[in-house]
Amino acid sequence: MTTSSSPHRDMKSYYDFGAVDEPEWFVNEILAHRWVGQAHLEFQVRWTLGNVTWEPLAECKELEALDEYLELRGAKWPCDLLHKPDLPGRVASVT
């Protein structure tokens, strides 16, 4: 004896309403940099949607905004940026 099941019983259907899952974010400019410890460099990034976040060098190294930031500060490489010694409990920040 063969048992047949309804073809719609386990079927799940999804409809794409055409909504974008994630908005695209683009970097507007780099505002500042800071050294965390002796070797970790972060940049304060202003995004086109208005948010400002701190991002590690690894996330910024391919950005045109980083090239502009370095040029404005007379630095050829990110490691040439001003590096103030950290005070205990404080992150050095340069604007």
CA distance 44 to 47: 10
pLDDT in tens, 14-35: 555 565 666 567 899 999 999 9
Round to whole Å and give the CA distance between 26 and 46. Answer: 9
Tell me the pLDDT tens digit for each residue of 39-91.
899 999 999 988 999 999 999 999 999 999 999 999 999 999 987 654 444 45
Angle at 8 between CA 6 and CA 13, to 5 degrees: 165
Rounded to the nearest 10°, the torsion over CA 88, 91, 92, 95 is: -150
pLDDT for residue 88 = 47
pLDDT at 38: 80
